[in-house]
Amino acid sequence: MYVPQPDSSDTWRASGRDNRFAFDDRPLLPDWHELLAAFCGHIGDQPDDHPVTRWARELALLRLERRERPADTGRIDELRSQRVHFIDEWVAGRALRRGAARADSLGTVVDEMAAAHVHAVHLLRTARKVSDEEVHAAWFRLARMADDWTDRAAGVFAPRERRSA
């Protein structure tokens, strides 16, 4: 399987187009694959995992708990709101945002993706037939959200550090 690799030239990195920390090889934001892995519980539980994937995992768990315990929605929604705020504050403290990405809450985007994922998985597990239109629509919506995340994440980049002469 071919896995595309980022251009390793300094020109590419200095432009901010590769969405990476300055002087670091890790992406500033996780890509949609990592978010979905976090929603599934495959990543996001280790201290060295990306903070956004840790909060994404928690948001998915909270969305699942909200589905299973509707009587606790107030408490769960407060916890979700905190995680959304954590993501927004983390991004604000480390990144510059350009274009339409400036006004968007990336934490809210992650929370909505977590909700869509939990819903799609629920439908997949409870549908009479996996080929049901409702199942397809839920997964298609999640795919569109993942695509949208890619566009939004591309609008977030690490500020270049100024060097004294």
* CA atoms 8, 12, 17, 23: torsion sign: positive
Comparing 94-98, 104-108, 135-139, which segment has the lowest mean pLDDT? Answer: 94-98
Residue 157: the pLDDT is 77
- Tokens 């869509």 correspond to what residue? 116
- 71: amino acid identity, one letter: A
Band (pLDDT 50/70/90 cuts) for residue 14 is very low
Residue 59: the pLDDT is 98
CB 142 within 8 A of CB 113: yes
Please give the model's pTM, rounded to 2 decimal places.
Answer: 0.79
Residue 161: the pLDDT is 59
Average pLDDT rounded to a whole number, residues 45-58: 95
CB 58 within 8 A of CB 43: no
Q: Please tell me what DSSP assigns to residue 69.
A: -
Residue 96: the pLDDT is 76
What mean pLDDT value characterizes the chain? 82
Residue 162: the pLDDT is 52
Average pLDDT rounded to a whole number, residues 138-157: 93
